[in-house]
Structure 1
Amino acid sequence: MKPRTPLDAQGIDLKLLRLLDALHASQSVTRTAERLGLSQPTISIGLARLRKMLDDPLFVRTPEGMQATPRTQALMPAVRQVLDGMDLLASVTAQFDAGSSERRFRIFMTDASHVTLMPRLFAHVRALAPGVKLEAATLGPDMAQALQSGEADLALGLIPTLDRGFYQQALFDQDWVCLCNADHPRIGEKFHLKHYLAEAHVGIVSGTGAQLLESALQTLGKPRRVQLALPGFLGLPGILSTSDLVATLPRHIGETLAQAAGLRVLPCPVAIEGFNVKQYWHTRYHQDPANRWLRAVCAELFLNKRR
């Protein structure tokens, strides 16, 4: 059996190591090219060089994407150690010139944040750094790996799963409100628990916030009557504007939707646990100048502010 070729530290450069790391994280030549700012043929050429150097396929195409071979999996801890060390050395003197940068930042956020946070963030970034691009990514099980690899830069929201290996900064507190049609036929000046339980509701069934709401209702022991369930906030204004349903949701998105759609904001009569909206980033990028710039922008816009 032919012995494996050892990794030749003199024959492999940092660009190829970063390519290997990005491919391992994204499992896609296309996403790797976008992340590194290179063409797909350049990524393919680099991968071919690595395969020749290491005498291994390194990645195999599958229906789920480019899957790493055992050789690649064995190499990755050493590759990341080298890249972490170089990033640390570079951060000592590196600067991020936002005004001239054309970097793309990828940020995990909820659909509520698309409505409440992204408009202000994009407007601010575009004014300061017109060449910088923003991409909103959906929260999911790949978040931690994407933030660790650098495929994504930041996460915004309430995300308890991002704990070990991550920094976090609380930006603002959230409590809860209810929304309804401004001309609701049965809700007057007072809106107590008995009124809440008597009405039909539209429920947002995904996210950590929804879990807090359901936990509060279970503790109360008096379930609400959910007549319509939605996976997110996208259709909520139109539904409330054309029905007599009631929605329970965090204050920031509630007040934003109410103002945009002419809905009525009611005090929530259920004691639901409040929470912090935070920004999260991986320890690998704690000193990275570009990441620090983005975090500073988010803190300037949202720290202890809802508007």
Structure 2
Amino acid sequence: MNDLPPDLLDPKLLKLFDVLYRTGSVTRSAELLGLSQPTISIWLQRLRRQVGDALFVRTPEGMAPTPRAEALIGPAREVLDGLRRLMAVQPAFDPATAQRRFRICMTDASHVTLLPTLLARVRAEAPDVRLEAGRMDDGVAQALASGEADLALGYAPWLASGIYQQTLYAQDWVCLANSAHPRIGKTLSLARYRQEAHVTVSPGTGQGLLEAALAAHGVERRVLLDLPGFLGLGAVISSTDLIVTLPRHIGETLAQASGLTVLACPLKVEGFDVKQHWHARYHEEPGNRWLRGLLAELFMARHRTAATRPAAAPAAAAARAR
């Protein structure tokens, strides 16, 4: 009949018990449940066997409950109410009234390129929502799985099973130079690139691609400054003749803020996609869906249409609504 152990009542029998108790009629119960009277009789016999009591007896006024039925109707209705609550539609996320913290793991570059725009939009739509930026490191997968983090933004090719991903935009590489650089005009040759002094930024998730390209072209840069992050980079480039090689989005953002020249990178460096990642456990969670939709609206529209696909196990689904 079902997969429940023999000491548990089938929910459909509990529902019959409730309806029959309310109506006192097998005929009326069959109508309300959309079943035939023979089916109602069969179910009632099963219920009687499991409970060990007749539960209802025929009288001129209809099916009258036994004392055992009177004792069981309250607990039975509590169980049915609990099952209804389990099956209830998950409450919607209302950004206008929500009071919640979202933790987003992101790279240092995303602090500059994505976070200000996202924060402005969140404040406009969800004034009581708090954002927290977390690190994009080897612990991201566990943080997403546990719910410690809601999303991860950036280039994270190591994220795999159980993690959904959506491409927000593609990245290539550019170089930045002082707009008044004494030896560089509107273009940058590979020979000039080799000769100039460079700034490097502590490796982010995409820096391995740059290092691989340098090695493939046999280019060994003359590095005069190593920085742990992007803080101060614009000021350094705008006040010196050093150059730096960066992904385009962070490069153009810094160039606009500091009046720098953006130059095509003279060597071919493999590009990558900036993505948002979330765990399958929270794929349908309304708040997570809202935040993902916001990011897709903000950044996919500015770059290009991107498809959503799960990295491994979960079935593919639309990223914004699902």
Q: Report if TM-score (shorter chain) is over 0.5.
A: yes
CA distances 1:31-79 after superposition (whole Å, capped 9, x unpaired) = xxxxxxxxxxxxxxxxxxxxxxxxxxxxxxxxxxxxxxxxxxxxxxxxx
User: Are 2:152 and 1:155 aligned?
Assistant: yes
Offset, 1:208: 2.1
CA distances 1:1-50 after superposition (whole Å, capped 9, x unpaired) = xxxxxxxxxxxxxxxxxxxxxxxxxxxxxxxxxxxxxxxxxxxxxxxxxx
Report the Cα distance in structure 1 between the residues aligned to 2:91 and 2:158, rounded to whole angstroms: 31
Residue of structure 1 in register with 2:294 after alignment: 297
Residue of structure 2 in register with 1:120 after alignment: 117
Offset, 1:178: 0.4
On the 8 A contact 2:187/2:264 being kept in 1, the answer is no
Runs of 4+ in 1 over 4 A off after TM superposition: 89-92
Q: Taking structure 2 as the reference length, what is the TM-score of the superposition?
A: 0.66
Q: Label 1:90 to 1:224 Cα distance change in 2 as closer, same or farther (>3 A).
A: farther
Instruction: Name the amino acid aligned to 1:163.
Output: A
User: Are 2:165 and 1:172 aligned?
Assistant: no
Report the Cα distance in structure 1 between the residues aligned to 2:109 and 2:149, rounded to whole angstroms: 19
Which of 105, 108, 125 is the equivalent residue of 1:108? Answer: 105
Offset, 1:92: 4.2
On the 8 A contact 1:155/1:280 being kept in 2, the answer is yes
User: Are 2:233 and 1:236 aligned?
Assistant: yes
Q: Taking structure 1 as the reference length, what is the TM-score of the superposition?
A: 0.69
Report the Cα distance in structure 2 between the residues aligned to 1:240 and 1:128, rounded to whole angstroms: 37
Residue of structure 1 in register with 2:192 after alignment: 195
Q: How many residues align?
A: 220
Report the Cα distance in structure 2 between the residues aligned to 1:214 and 1:269, rounded to whole angstroms: 14
1:4-23 equivalent positions in 2, closer than 5 A: none
Residue of structure 2 in register with 1:130 after alignment: 127
On the 8 A contact 2:186/2:263 being kept in 1, the answer is no
Q: Label 1:104 to 1:182 Cα distance change in 2 as closer, same or farther (>3 A).
A: same
Residue of structure 1 in register with 2:96 after alignment: 99
Report the Cα distance in structure 2 between the residues aligned to 1:285 and 1:109, rounded to whole angstroms: 18
Residue of structure 1 in register with 2:76 after alignment: none
Which of 217, 221, 224 is the equivalent residue of 2:218? Answer: 221
| Larger gyration radius, structure 1 or structure 2 | 2
Report the Cα distance in structure 2 between the residues aligned to 1:126 and 1:91, rounded to whole angstroms: 30
Offset, 1:164: 1.3
On the 8 A contact 1:91/1:288 being kept in 2, the answer is no
On the 8 A contact 1:91/1:289 being kept in 2, the answer is no
Instruction: Name the amino acid aligned to 2:150.
Output: D
Which structure 1 residue ranges, 5 or more long, are not aligned? 1-85
Which of 243, 249, 254 is the equivalent residue of 1:246? Answer: 243
